[in-house]
Amino acid sequence: MNILITVLALVVVIGVWLYFDYKLGLRALRKKSQATSTGPLASKIELITNGEDFIDKLIEDIRKANKHIHIQFYIFRDDYIGKRMVDTLVAKAEAGIDTRLLIDQFGCKLRRGTKKQLRAAGVDVAIAAKVRGPWFFFSLNRRNHRKLAVIDGHTSYLGGYNVGDEYLGRNPFFGFWRDFHVRITGEGSRAIQAQFLADFEAATGKHIERKSFFPDLQAGSQPLQFLGTQGTEFEQTLLKLIRSAKNSLIIGSPYFIPTRAVMDAIIDVAQRGVFVSLILPEKADHPLVKHGATPYVIEALQAGVLVYHYYRGFYHVKAVVADQSTCLVGTPNIDKRSFHLNDEMSCLTHDQTFIETVLAVLHADMHASMTVTIEQLQKRPLLDRVKEVTAAPLSPLL
């Protein structure tokens, strides 16, 4: 009995410590974090929705680099695609091109030997989001979730793809991997370059002389705005976009665990007559995330939202389109991690050509999805309901 009491007391103490560590860490982040935003930047933007196309285009641009290469991913695996990327970066660094690689501490799956190979070739490898005190549990859950690339300062990438075989549909469980990434030329590359350099300096503690990384850029015809966030600011941008919808709102996300404010905003616009569609994956790539989303999906359905489960592979798209006139794409998910914990970057545009391209893919994805109904969810197994109860208190971390 004494042992049981001791164990229970220890569990309570640890639970209280983790709770206050998280809360105090979040409060400290909110005090110091600052969003970086831009006005409209004249650019050219291309939507990429296939992993093979993404890797081929990125590697081709890297091979063309003459001055500098900046690559940043949340996940970088030591698999076939990862090796292909590593070999490309090694070859460019050995040819004298200034090459930097920034990877999140927990997303990095590169072996020590691979990192050694990169550094020996001259690649400056840095690790982002290292665990730091005094709020260790909160710091453990912080992620640099940005996926950026900048080539010679004039060509850049932003979106949801990481470096790994599954992103190219090579994992048999997930199958085809639907995602959104954008390739940008023109003035928009300046914003992505600035974000990369800020992240690299934060990870290494070294100042980087920036002038040489910002060449004169030819203006494009598509105005883009960029928002770099650290845990707390993305939610406010999303709320404004949701509340602005008058006729239609489409949201695509691999995870749907919103804050109460975001959920209420979605319900409000749906109940005032806005045609709201939500596209989510049928499969889950992390434990409990689908079960954590179920209560919110039920709320959305009850408010009249159309909910789709994409079944032709895994759905990793991160996009919001309001009234067919405003579009947001980038790295954030519609979940509490992106709202409170992750470093993210978003691109916002009113460009009709790009929005029409995005909408064409989103509508095709709806046709490749199952419509979710209240009746289906009411028949879900008891085990799923138990998992939902388990997931509820963990929702800020899922």
Task: List, by residue number, the catalytic residues.
Answer: 145, 147, 152, 316, 318, 323
The full 3-state SS of the chain, as one line of letters, equals CHHHHHHHHHHHHHHHHHHHHHHHHHHHHHHHCCCEECCCEEEEEEEECCHHHHHHHHHHHHHCCCCEEEEEECCEECCHHHHHHHHHHHHHHHCCCEEEEEEECCCEECCHHHHHHHHHHCCEEEEECCCCCCCHHHHHHCEECCCEEEECCCEEEEECCCECHHHHCCCCCCCCEECCEEEEEECHHHHHHHHHHHHHHHHHCCCCCCHHHCCCCCCCCEEEEEEEEECCCHHHHHHHHHHHCCCEEEEECCCEECCHHHHHHHHHHHHCCCEEEEEEECCCCCCCHHHHHHHHHHHHHHCCCEEEEECCCEECCCEEEECCCEEEEECCCEEHHHHHCEEEEEEEECCHHHHHHHHHHHHHHHHCEEECCHHHHHCCCHHHHHHHHHHHHHHHHC
